A and B are shown apart, each in its own frame.
Chain A
């Protein structure tokens, strides 16, 4: 019994394979004359299934449904348009046209400002010969350039103090070996001190104090880097005279 069923299945598969290839049902049956009776039931089912192709809606139903599709699409389009208008209006209210470039500009500006400020802040502790030292000097020059004359005194005194502090740091750092930068620092100290003297920024008390410090630092640097003698650092009459002339000119 099982064997027969297996054979029938094989035959049935071949029968349906033939049907699938486009051969008519009757022709397919004729190809299996020994199984005609068994296959007749399947042929009948297949034929009846194919007759279902005659199920068709009435023309009125077809037309009615088409109208419904159009009306549904129109309603949906109107709703979509309203939604789009609402959305667009909201976007217009919330995001004016200039907002995007403005935000980009502000973003770039803030980024550059922070970078610039950060670099200057980082350069504050730099010593001569460091990468950021030039930034420190430039920022000092810019500060002087944009500071009114009456406030320049404090800037120059701070600059002198900074130079002396830098010299102190170099002397206290045994690993520091940049002789060229140390020489430059000595000349900078001299230059700043002379400028302060010329412009009479140093009163008698602070003059002595700075003179002592300048001499001490210069001696220290000369001894360490075996440079020529430190020379003298004091406010001469000539310098005072020049300073008075400078102030008069201002």
Chain B
């Protein structure tokens, strides 16, 4: 979906409260928000709950505030981030089901994704230098996930928002409440730490 199209749906929902416009927004963002929550809290059930809460808030409050698509993107991730923080506050100990376990379960039959990853890695296997990060495993990568879990929360969130969610630094800054330069610095530290954790 293009930004203009998304902007149109946002405005349409704001004006008319049209559920079909809301559903377009929901379908576009659900996977992203769900993934963001899942990567942060490693609990698929809680990730679902957080995604529901995020979209419930969007459904109730989008009509009251004036946002374009760029601001909306930052706003929705900020809601998700706040709910993730709330989740951490409520549940000091994480769920028994780890992210790795969940990914293994849900992607057992996801051949399409695996084929895509295999092809990608066949082409670029020159650059994979650690057996734990082999291309055959794709995103089902226990070492990387474990490494990410060891990162401080803010670094983990920046890494996820930058490389998984593909957001620009300005939007990330708005989401986490820091300047663009700080976000760049946090990302850089996170990458160095990940490298240290995975390759030392």
Contacts and interface: CB of A to CB of B under 8 A. Distances in A.
Whether chains A and B associate is yes
Interface of A: 12-13, 16, 20, 25-26, 29, 37, 40-58, 61-62, 64-66, 68-70, 72-73, 76
A40 B127 contact: yes
Contacts of B160: 52
B139 A41 contact: no
B55 A65 contact: yes
Contact residues on B (Cβ < 8 Å of other chain), bracket: 35 or more
B141 interface: yes
A45 B159 CA distance: 11
Contacts of A26: 124, 127
> Which of the listed residues B39, B51, B159 has the most CB atoms from chain A within 10 Å of its own CB?
B51
Secondary structure call for the B interface: helix
Interface string B104-146: 0010000001001100100010111110010000110100100
Closest 5 CB pairs of A and B: A49-B163, A51-B139, A52-B164, A69-B55, A40-B127
B55 A45 contact: no
B138 A54 contact: yes
B129 A41 contact: yes
Given A40-B127, A65-B52, A53 B188 contact: no
B89 to A, nearest CB: 21
Contact of A55 (B39, B163, B199): B39
Nearest to A17: B184
B60 A53 contact: no
Contacts of A48: 133, 139, 141, 144
Interface stretch (B5-13, B30-38, B64-72, B90-98): B30-38
